Structure 1
Amino acid sequence: MKTNIITGFHAIEETVKSQSENKNIDNTENTTKIFYSKAGPRVKKILELAKKANIPCEKKTDRELNALVKNLPERLREHRGIVLSGKTPTRLSIDTLMAEFADKKSAFFVLLDSITDPHNIGSIIRSADQLGVDAVILPERNSAGGYEVIAKISSGASAWVPVIYVKNLIRVAQMLKREGFWIYGADGNGEDVHSINFAEKTVLVMGSEGKGIAQHLKDTCDKIVSIPTQGRLDSLNVSVAAGILFYEISRR
């Protein structure tokens, strides 16, 4: 397994909290460790949580922390005096996810097609955590990034919402349909979301603001839904639209 370096107070704090609580993470080979250089209030809070979770903490110099983060993408290198290091947790596979929800009456998954902007992905995962989404499914290629990026841009929400990478979104959508899920695609030309009676087992497919959902993936959808708007711009930001649709679906 790859060793990851996570930066950002929220991302580290939520990762620490999830170590002992999150059923979506396999802790049998837990190698998580925290390195810190400054013990300000935010860092002290994280260190206390780490102690409760039996995560070792070690004091380092700022120069040593800089060396730990030097190979990260530039936007992730600001460590603010604390860094979390550990092997990538074993996340649920799509098959394991399906098995977990096979006997449940209700489930809500989100498929994100070609959404590559990290900030949009992060906002969507944070909304997913707040509004009852059971899993976010991303393509292995043409997405925003790996575990380190997702952890920071979602402010740690990915520690609680399973984020699953798959090779082929179309095949996954077809598999979910066979398992009794209804597939809803978000598009500006769809049916008014307020008129939709969403199924108990729902999959929402969202595409990028520019291209939307790929046509072959759209063809697998049972319904295309849209958010009625009154403005003159062409469309809502995808993360804003996601939050609205998540709320509507959570009311089903």
Structure 2
Amino acid sequence: MKSLAQEFAVPVKWVPKQKLDSMTQDAVHQGVVLAITPYEYLTLKQLLSQKKEHSFYLILDSLEDPHNFGSILRTADASGVDGVIIPKHRSVGITPVVVKTSTGAVEHIPIARVTNLSQAITELKEAGFWIFGTDMKGTSYDKWNTKGSVALIIGNEGKGMSEGLKKEVDEMLTIPMTGHVQSLNASVAASLLMYEVFRQRGFESL
């Protein structure tokens, strides 16, 4: 590892374990921490400039848990998501915990940060996107028509989607459940839906 760092001109500094614990907020670091420059988010315009014929974006509505965000990014990379959109305020951004939980996926998924999600959705619609939300009531996710360019909204861990955004969607999707708990963890729900798009668009032809 030291020779690789030297090869790529990455400076190495030896510090006490307590320093690494502090830098990682007592997370598991296995004795190595990499300090990097702040993450550079895209604007929505920059993200849309990368639009494909059938793009698939995630819109994270005020997600707060960095572990959920990191897990979503990891699955997004695995399932072929083309971009993620997050709000600037009242939402988790790219933190060391997110980077670690994503196992590097944060470096491969374009992430745009916007001031207003409602305005972003309006711009996505103008660019030809169909907007889908997640709720307890709606179309079963396995009946979801994923053709064309689609954007999927994943709501806050506790409150779900904001009422304002619910008015913006073209169709609500739901994940059928049985049992006593009537909601899934945000990253688990997002994973099921991401892989439904992957299944319909390409998995069956692999």
TM range (shorter): 0.7 to 0.9
Identify the structure with the greater strand proportion. 1
Q: Give 2:14's aligned amino acid.
A: K
CA apart distance, 1:92: 2.5
Distance 2:129 2:26 in 1: 38
The match for 2:43 is: 93
SS in 2 for 1:133: coil
Query: Of residues 102, 126, 138 in structure 2, which corresponds to 1:190?
Result: 138
CA apart distance, 1:194: 1.6
Query: Runs (4+) of structure 1 moved beyond 3 Å?
Result: 47-52
CA displacement 1:58-95 (0-9 Å, x = unmatched):
241326x81x774x46245x543222123224332211
CA apart distance, 1:48: 5.7
CA apart distance, 1:240: 0.9
Distance 1:131 1:50 in 2: 31
SS in 2 for 1:58: coil
Decide whether the 8 Å contact of 1:139 with 1:167 is kept in 2: yes
The match for 2:16 is: 62
1:58/1:106 CA distance change after superposition, 3 Å: same
1:48/1:130 CA distance change after superposition, 3 Å: farther
Distance 1:171 1:177 in 2: 10
CA apart distance, 1:99: 1.3
The match for 1:221 is: 169
Distance 1:212 1:149 in 2: 22
Q: Give 1:105's aligned amino acid.
A: E
Query: Of residues 179, 197, 201 in structure 2, which corresponds to 1:249?
Result: 197
SS in 1 for 2:90: coil
Q: Give 2:176's aligned amino acid.
A: P
The answer for unaligned runs of 5 or more in structure 1 is: 1-43
Q: Give 1:81's aligned amino acid.
A: G
Q: Give 2:76's aligned amino acid.
A: A
Aligned Cα root-mean-square deviation (Å): 2.2
Decide whether the 8 Å contact of 1:88 with 1:147 is kept in 2: no
CA apart distance, 1:192: 1.0
Scaled by the length of structure 2, what TM-score is found? 0.86
CA displacement 1:105-132 (0-9 Å, x = unmatched):
1111001112211221121111111111
SS in 1 for 2:98: helix
Choose 175-184 or 78-87, whichever is displaced more: 78-87
Query: Of residues 8, 13, 25 in structure 2, which corresponds to 1:74?
Result: 25
CA apart distance, 1:163: 2.3
Decide whether the 8 Å contact of 2:63 with 2:155 is kept in 1: yes
The answer for unaligned runs of 5 or more in structure 2 is: 202-206
